[in-house]
Structure 1
Amino acid sequence: MPEHDVNPDPDGGDLDLDLDRALEVATGLAAWASEVIRRPRTPDTATDVREKDSPADIVTDTDEAVEAHVRATLGRAFPGHGIVGEEYGRTEGTPGAPHWLIDPVDGTTNYAHGLGWCSFSLGLAAPDGTPLLGLVADPWRGETFTAVRGRGAHLNGTPVRAAGHTTLTGHVFMTEWAAHAHWPGMDTLLATLADRHCTVRVMGSTALSLVQVAAGRATAAAIGEFHHVDGLPALLIATEAGAVAVPELPAYDEPLLLAAPGVAREATELLRRSRASV
């Protein structure tokens, strides 16, 4: 079977073999990228920050170098696959082939300012967008979250599960700005969660925030604008850990909620009311 052919049936043997290899390549890339991201930034290298679309949307040489290396490695390992990257856009694969999703440094603002909360995100999706493999690496804490569709989620090789909580009260809720701005309904949601004594955290890396639900550290997470390059790998990891996703597969710029099963109904209703209030 050509290596670019992936059967989207999680019970298919060919898929298992191909995704084993894909996971091995992805894990190796995560280790390399984490080492690059952890390198100390000196006054000389700290001058590489450049604007993209706005002063709040920036890129560094590290973003570009990591993505270029990942693209080259994936191109050699899986020459038929497509690639969609944060910095260099889309490279089409052969018809019917899956495509990789790369965010080389998710949380570039944190990285550029020396804040140790950013991640390397890599995923593989079927032609219809169904996530097949997800990886999110935290270079600063030496943690790598992985998931293969139908096989559960893992943190450094150990299975993880979403929290068993039955209420948001007293627990952690993760969210992120829409770039530098509040997304519609965000202020109302924050106020409602505060009333429930639910502690909100805005950390600055969408992928890394979402996988905290998979680890059971955060009971829920919501973002106002879903982007596949930094959201789809984490979405798969969280749902493979037992979290509930609303919707199951968001469209581009659509809101996403991830929640532990026992709080999914409560969190969904709070998010619905918050967005309806705008």
Structure 2
Amino acid sequence: MTPGELHADELLAARTLALDLGAWAAEETRSHRVTSISTKADPADLVTELDRSIELRVREQVLARFPGHAFVGEEYGGAAVPGHPTWYLDPVDGTTNLANGIPWTAFSLALAIDDRPLVGVVADPWHGAVFDAVAGQGARRNGDVLRVEAGASTGRSSLGGGVVGSELAGHRAWPGMRELAHRLTDAYCTLRVMGSGTLTLLGPAAGRGTGAIIHRFSPIDHLAATLIAHEAGAVVLGQDGRSTLFPAGGGVLVAAPAAAEELYGTWKAALLAVEVTA
């Protein structure tokens, strides 16, 4: 075995551990009463004691079981090691929601080697769901096989009557977001901003909406969701329109197959409109 590979038994052990940690983190999130809220980059960038305590526990468990692996977390950082297994964690994706009593957050944990995701687990505490996927082995929700709805065209637009999710850049609209909203409106499609990039990208695979666009990909927040969505049969594209689960730069799109082409074209047109007016 080379450094860029995992044995089947190690992959199984990684999935099992990630599922256990996801279930534990979901229960911690549901039962925890937030008592301490502080800020990071700006007054809208919040962190709670739960973000930190979950990350510390997950780091401890993962590195005890896999001491040769690298670990990168939302709260305590870390760095990927080229050619070696690296874990990416966001303990609470949607901290602003959590701090404001809005039950829409997620736990996201992924294992990858370089740009190849191998295992992904997303826990949705507020709906009692734990999603997971192993590369090439399909996706599951609470152990049941998960398959994305292909989607069907309604009239001339595959987006008509649908919902597309996106997220803010922190607390601000990202360049092109307003243009995207206008173009979706013209296609009779509704834009939703719910506050968790993880759940937004997972949406089409979970039967929650037609598609999703995140303006800047981060493996900490998004890698588990893109792997699960792909393994469930969704289309996953980088900002350049190429199929990828780990974009090297720019944003990422997830969509039901019937809507992917039109949604990507809408996104691209919105970004071009910004460039023209800049």
- State TM-score, norm by structure 1: 0.90
3-state secondary structure, aligned to 1:272: helix
Instruction: Count residues in correspondence.
Output: 263
Contact 1:153/1:214 (CA < 8 Å) preserved in 2? no
Match of 1:30 among 11, 18, 22: 22
Instruction: Note the aligned Cα RMSD (angstroms).
Output: 1.7
Contact 1:162/1:219 (CA < 8 Å) preserved in 2? no
3-state secondary structure, aligned to 2:266: helix
3-state secondary structure, aligned to 2:107: strand
Match of 2:64 among 54, 57, 76: 76
After TM superposition, list the pairs within 5 Å mapping 1:131-210 onto structure 2. Answer: 131-165=117-151, 166=153, 167-210=158-201
Unpaired runs of at least 5, structure 2? 239-243
- Separation in structure 2 between the aligned mates of residue 208 and residue 92 of structure 1, nearest angstrom: 24
Unpaired runs of at least 5, structure 1? 9-13
Note the C-alpha offset of 1:229: 0.1
3-state secondary structure, aligned to 2:123: strand
Percent of pairs identical after alignment?
Answer: 46
Note the C-alpha offset of 1:36: 1.1
Counterpart AA for 2:15: L
Q: Deviations over 1:123-150 (max 9, x none)?
A: 0001x22111111101111101111000
Match of 1:256 among 248, 252, 257: 252
Specify the alignment match of 1:11 in structure 2. Answer: none
- State TM-score, norm by structure 2: 0.90
Query: Which runs of at least 4 in structure 1 moved beyond 3 Å after TM superposition?
Result: none
Contact 1:6/1:18 (CA < 8 Å) preserved in 2? no
Contact 2:201/2:253 (CA < 8 Å) preserved in 1? no
After TM superposition, list the pairs within 5 Å mapping 1:4-15 onto structure 2. Answer: 7=5, 14=7
- Separation in structure 2 between the aligned mates of residue 40 and residue 61 of structure 1, nearest angstrom: 10
Contact 1:49/1:60 (CA < 8 Å) preserved in 2? yes
- Separation in structure 2 between the aligned mates of residue 277 and residue 92 of structure 1, nearest angstrom: 35
Note the C-alpha offset of 1:89: 0.4
Specify the alignment match of 2:105 in structure 1. Answer: 118
Match of 1:226 among 217, 223, 237: 217
- Separation in structure 1 between the aligned mates of residue 163 and residue 146 of structure 2, nearest angstrom: 17
3-state secondary structure, aligned to 2:88: strand
Counterpart AA for 1:181: R
Contact 2:166/2:192 (CA < 8 Å) preserved in 1? yes
Note the C-alpha offset of 1:163: 2.0
